[in-house]
Amino acid sequence: MRIEIIAKESGERIDALLARSIEGLSRSRAQKLIAEGLVTLNGIPAQKSQVCKIGEVYLVFLPEDTGDKLPEAEDIKLCIAYEDEDIIVVNKKRGMVVHPAPGHTSGTLVSALLAHTGGRLSDIGGETRPGIVHRIDKETSGLIIAAKNNEAHAGLKKQLQKHEIVRIYEAVILGNLKSIKGTIDKPIGRHPVHRKKMAIVEGGRNAVTHYESVAKYRGYEHIKCRLETGRTHQIRVHLASVGHPLLGDSVYGKGKEKGLTGQCLHARELSFIHPINGEKIEILTDLPEYFTDVLGKLGAKSE
């Protein structure tokens, strides 16, 4: 839902304006909308402490209501890479949605985790996202951490905020990069027109991706990406912004190719400090079958 809000006086904070102007919207919910880039002024995401000026027109994009109820546990098989009393790391298959969203209320990772843990998940992330510390896209496969209690969740979240959790992805992109390794440092925010997309926008949130070539093919390249930050669709948006979208990406690239629908992207490596016992956890997965199948269709490697 798209709503226009016109500031009728100067000096009021944007979160207060939204809470006062939209029926049923709390100030904390308004702050969350702002943090997610769903409130814009002239196409630029608003900042949480932004002070309004009279006559300014803000666009607010309200996501559809999912019911905000605890999802039901579902007996769905999980590939577990690590588990103890406090945390669980799952190697998510592509096609699985992490938490309930419009059109995806069942079959989610959250539902599978609820069944597997008997409901022993943190509640810091809210009722619809128990245990979820960070997310990966539906068509992205690979490692994702969940917390079984609030102490573990808070510790992991702190590491994420300090960029202390190492997350390395592998991807196949269109074309060949000019350099063997490099860094893309471009701010990301909601697309000013297409609200389901992200984009490089002035005033967006800081986003940094480090990349390195694994192998070059004619017209394609297998790369590694290390996230310094973790914005929505970050790798997909950053690579598309330099002219090398991910193979199969229907949102930021050409779409279905080499028999693949959805981006060729796998969260392969993960390392962090255990939030309770302080031990270093390092996990490396094999590339999934869909990924190796794609590599087999790219032909001979090039120099």
pLDDT digits (tens, 9 = 90+) for 33-63: 888 788 888 888 888 789 999 989 998 887 6
Q: Please state, in angstroms and rounded to a whole number, the distance separating the CA atoms of residues 292 and 114.
A: 31
How far from chain centre, in Å, is Cα 212? 21
| 81-85, 110-114, 257-261: range with lowest mean pLDDT | 257-261
Q: Which pLDDT belongs to residue 103?
A: 66
The reply to whether domains 69-162 and 167-267+291-302 share a CATH topology is yes
Can you give the pLDDT at residue 102?
Answer: 65
Q: Domain 167-267+291-302: which CATH class?
A: alpha beta
List residues with catalytic annotation. 137
Mean pLDDT of 244-249: 97
Question: What is the rounded average pLDDT of the residues 296-303?
Answer: 86
Contact by Cβ (8 Å): 131, 142? no
Nearest CA to 290 out of 94, 126, 153 is that of 94
**Cα(263)–Cα(250) distance, rounded to whole angstroms?**
7
Q: Determine the CATH number of domain 69-162.
A: 3.30.2350.10
> Concatenated DSSP letters for 99-168?
S-BTTB-SS-HHHHHHHHHTT----TT-TTSTTBSS---TT-EEEEEEESSHHHHHHHHHHHHTT-SEEE
The pLDDT confidence band at residue 290, using thresholds 50, 70 and 90, is very high
Better-scored residue on pLDDT, 226 or 23: 226
Residue 163: CB atoms within 10 A of its CB come to 13
List pLDDT tens digits, range 61-72.
Answer: 876 554 455 688
pLDDT value of residue 67:
47
Average pLDDT, the chain: 90
Prediction pTM value: 0.80
Higher-scoring residue by pLDDT: 168, 261: 168
Q: What is the model's pLDDT at position 66?
A: 44
- Tell me the pLDDT band of 1, cut-offs 50, 70 and 90: low
Domain 2-61 matching CATH 3.10.290.10: the answer reads: yes
Residue 7 has pLDDT above 60, yes or no: yes
CA distance 212 to 52: 43
What percent of the chain has a predicted confidence (pLDDT) above 90?
A: 64
Closest CA to 188 of 243, 156, 230, 217: 230
Per-residue confidence (pLDDT) for residue 42, from 0 to 100 = 83
pLDDT at 285: 97
Per-residue CA distances from 193 to 2, 59, 61, 201 (Å)? 11, 11, 11, 12
pLDDT score recorded for residue 178: 92
Mind listing the pLDDT tens digit for each residue in 111-169? 999 999 999 999 887 777 899 999 999 999 999 999 999 999 999 999 998 999 999 99
For residues 288 and 34, which has the higher predicted lDDT (pLDDT)? Answer: 288
Average pLDDT over residues 202-206: 88
Above 90 in pLDDT, residue 172? yes
Domain positions in the chain: 2-61, 69-162, 167-267+291-302
